[in-house]
Amino acid sequence: MTKRILVVEDNPDNRILITDVLASFDYEVLIAEDGEQGVEMAEKEVPDLILMDLSLPKMDGWAATKAIKDKAPLADIPIIALTAHAMVGDREKALKAGCDDYISKPIDLRELGSKLAHFLG
């Protein structure tokens, strides 16, 4: 069965890159362009994993992650933060918000593949 990944990313270029990479790994890709849409899509589609940008319009990735993790049927979905926030403490802040892992941008495709394999088997 094809694993479904929700990509919550507001930057069109990043969305295209991530979508192309995930499609090449044979994942089904769902897209949300802001945090609110990300929460709605997670509720509606219940993906196998979420890649969450943290700097998003309407609702940032920290708040969207918390909203998803606070909903019982969604709490076990792994969320990997994707962010240009690579300052000291940002990884810890993402994990504290409920993210299961963290990848800084620009995305290292080997690291992404490794983390996807870890969470999706």
Nearest CA-CA partner of 99 in 72, 56, 64: 64
Give pLDDT, residue 85. Answer: 65
Give pLDDT, residue 50. Answer: 98
Q: In this structure, are strands 4-8 and 49-53 parallel, antiparallel, or unpaired?
A: parallel
What does CATH list as the number for 4-120?
3.40.50.2300
Residue 65 CB partners (closer than 8 Å, separation 6+):
52, 79, 81, 94, 97, 98, 99
Are residues 93 and 65 in contact, defined by beta-carbon separation less than 8 angstroms?
no
Q: In this structure, are strands 101-104 and 4-8 parallel, antiparallel, or unpaired?
A: unpaired
Tens of pLDDT along the chain (121 residues)? 799 999 999 999 999 999 999 999 899 999 999 999 999 999 999 999 999 998 899 999 999 999 999 999 999 999 999 888 667 777 888 888 899 999 988 888 899 999 999 999 8
